Amino acid sequence: MGPRGPIEHKTVPTRAAVYVPVFKQYPVQDDVAGTAEAPRRSHDARLAEAMGLAAAIGLDIVASGVVSGQRPRPATLIGTGKVEEMKGVIAGEEIGLVVFDHPLTPVQQRNLERELNVKVLDRTGLILEIFGERARTKEGRLQVELAHLNYQRGRLVRSWTHLERQRGGAGFLGGPGETQIESDRRQLQEKIKRLEKDLEQVRRTRQLHRAQRKKAPHPVVALVGYTNAGKSTLFNRLTGAEVMAKDLLFATLDPTLRRTTLPHGTEILFSDTVGFVSDLPTHLVAAFRATLEEVIEADIVLHVRDVADPDTLAQAEDVRKILRDLDIDVDDSDHVVEIWNKVDLLDEAGLQHLATMRESLPDTDAVHVVSAVTGFGVDTLLVDIERRIGGGTVTLTVDVAPDAMGFVPWIYENATVTARDDREDGAVSLTMDITKQARTELRRMSEHASGVSFQR
């Protein structure tokens, strides 16, 4: 199969090269390393992440590096000298795929494939390959296919070597004089419309599920974060679930919901979502908007950060950018809480630096320092979540008559009993810390039964 065929994930992994092109002069809109407002990524950090992306689909990375240039070349992105160097590496290492951690125009991708005689992927194409492997649900697969078709539609210029060939006459789609590329573009558009219709049905179904949950009413707490920040591990720690938590980029793609009872009895839903990544194309974010609607409608958003990663500041800004694209106010500390994860990987100096950073914040309650692996800080986080969703505790004393003892087990299950007085007449007086939500439920139940009285 030629260089423009699909990647085949065989038992023997494809030998690949990963390159990060960097230029001294960037057009403003193409500055993939950062902006004046956001932290700039180091070249080494970009290369490490690109290699992680490639490893996520099992590629055998046999060559990698940073490729420097004065400015991007319209025809091949990099200079002819660099292209010739790559040819030598490709021949020597028997490489079948080259990944560029940089956007490629359709013309650049086509020209590079012709020059190098191997398949070439840019960052978006690689992420789509990963998404394609990770999708498990019908919705996830539809999202991936839609994103891939939108990506492919803009790259038809490279998809055919016979673009100028005419086809027409009786029995041919499109009628007389329709070019191959026009026909392909039309067929892609028809597929896209069908997928969008299917996805609209998925969205309606998801909205119905959310409406049913709101009747329940269980608050939703969504975990978001840069890919591989430890979201799924923290999700497992918070819920006791067993979501796939691997050291892989985009290990989670389809959203996962789990119900959990907080320390003082409040029931909530935790939602684990797809990891974000820098330079995620707009059409990819749009395609996964249905998945991300769990984030949009969440009562609380936990922004999980890997503070042991040297690139943590740039990663955090990338996540904030996508949250802003979803119309979420990242500066609302009552709604968005940062979780500084993986502190178990920091040495003493790193922990001290982290503590200093946290103390310098205007609102230290907007940040929790945790380790999803060891459980450090998780109990405090759960208590704070309960406080934030209106489940803050109040102290309450109730008297339970002998004929209403059925209430006592419920109270022990849904509150923290701090004092108990068993009286001679068989009644029990219980003093407890209880959430406002649970107190309301207890009052509602007592209205339909005698034998429970609330002390003032």
**Confidence (pLDDT) at 159:** 44
Where does residue 230 fall: left (phi above 0), alpha (psi -120 to 50 degrees), or beta otherwise?
Answer: left
Highest mean pLDDT, choosing among 49-58, 420-429, 445-454: 420-429
Q: Which two tokens stand for residue 410?
A: 């419920």
% pLDDT > 90, the chain = 41
Question: Mean of the per-residue pLDDT values for the chain?
Answer: 82
**Confidence (pLDDT) at 9:** 53
**Confidence (pLDDT) at 230:** 92
pTM of the model: 0.69
Reported confidence tier of residue 267, pLDDT bands at 50, 70, 90: confident
**Residue 396: CB atoms within 10 Å:** 18
Output the known binding site: 225-232, 250-254, 272-275, 341-344
**Confidence (pLDDT) at 322:** 86
Contacts of 329-334 spanning 24+ positions with Cβ under 8 A? 330/303, 333/363, 333/365, 333/366, 334/388
**Confidence (pLDDT) at 346:** 95
Q: Which CATH superfamily is domain 218-390 in?
A: P-loop containing nucleotide triphosphate hydrolases (3.40.50.300)
The CATH fold assigned to 15-132 is Rossmann fold (3.40.50)
Reported confidence tier of residue 40, pLDDT bands at 50, 70, 90: low
Q: Please indicate whether the domains covering 218-390 and 392-454 agree at the CATH topology level.
A: no
Alpha-carbon span 111 to 68, nearest angstrom: 19
Alpha-carbon span 456 to 445, nearest angstrom: 18
Distances (CA, A) of 451 to 78, 198, 406, 416, 424: 81, 55, 10, 21, 16
Highest mean pLDDT, choosing among 179-183, 259-263, 436-440: 259-263
Q: Is the dihedral of CA 357, 359, 361, 364 positive or negative?
A: positive
**Confidence (pLDDT) at 104:** 93
Q: Which two tokens stand for residue 50?
A: 């690109």
User: What number is the average pLDDT over the span 326-336?
Assistant: 86
Residue that wins the pLDDT comparison between 228 and 302: 302
| CATH number, domain 392-454, options 3.30.70.240, 3.40.50.920, 3.30.2270.10, 3.40.50.2300 | 3.30.70.240
123 pLDDT higher than 80: yes
Alpha-carbon span 362 to 279, nearest angstrom: 29
Mutual angle of helices 180-215 and 138-153, in 10-degree steps: 150
All structural domains of the chain with their residue ranges: 15-132, 135-200, 218-390, 392-454
242 pLDDT higher than 90: no
Q: Which amino acid is at 371?
A: S
**Confidence (pLDDT) at 212:** 66
Segments of 331-410 assigned E as strands: 336-341, 367-369, 393-400
Segments of 322-413 assigned E as strands: 336-341, 367-369, 393-400
Name 46's Cβ contacts closer than 8 Å, sequence gap at least 6: 20, 33, 66, 101
Highest mean pLDDT, choosing among 127-141, 206-220, 221-235, 236-250: 221-235
3-state class (DSSP) for residue 322 = helix
Highest mean pLDDT, choosing among 32-36, 204-208, 337-341: 337-341
Alpha-carbon span 187 to 167, nearest angstrom: 15
Residue that wins the pLDDT comparison between 248 and 237: 237
Reported confidence tier of residue 33, pLDDT bands at 50, 70, 90: very low
3-state class (DSSP) for residue 397 = strand
Which residue from 289, 294, 290, 288 is spatially nearest to 272, judged by alpha carbons? 294
Per the CB < 8 A criterion, the answer to whether 386 and 407 are in contact is no
| 126-148 residue pLDDT tens | 988 887 777 767 777 888 888 88
Q: Is the dihedral of CA 237, 242, 243, 246 positive or negative?
A: positive
Which residue from 90, 62, 79 is spatially nearest to 3, judged by alpha carbons? 90
User: What number is the average pLDDT over the span 102-124?
Assistant: 93
**Confidence (pLDDT) at 31:** 44
User: What number is the average pLDDT over the span 57-79?
Assistant: 94
294 pLDDT higher than 50: yes
| 144-173 residue pLDDT tens | 888 888 888 877 654 444 334 433 333 333
Output the known binding site for Mg(2+): 232, 252
User: What number is the average pLDDT over the span 3-27?
Assistant: 77
| 186-203 residue pLDDT tens | 888 899 899 888 888 877
DSSP structure class, residue 77:
B
Q: Which two tokens stand for residue 192?
A: 């896209």
Per the CB < 8 A criterion, the answer to whether 383 and 263 are in contact is yes
Q: Which of 168-172, 299-303, 365-369 has the lowest mean pLDDT?
A: 168-172
Per the CB < 8 A criterion, the answer to whether 60 and 11 are in contact is no
32 pLDDT higher than 50: no
Output the known binding site for GTP: 225-232, 250-254, 272-275, 341-344
| 376-430 residue pLDDT tens | 999 999 989 988 886 557 789 999 999 999 999 999 988 889 999 999 999 999 9
Which residue from 376, 385, 367 is spatially nearest to 266, judged by alpha carbons? 385
Residue that wins the pLDDT comparison between 272 and 29: 272
Distances (CA, A) of 380 to 47, 137, 238: 36, 34, 11
Alpha-carbon span 103 to 80, nearest angstrom: 18
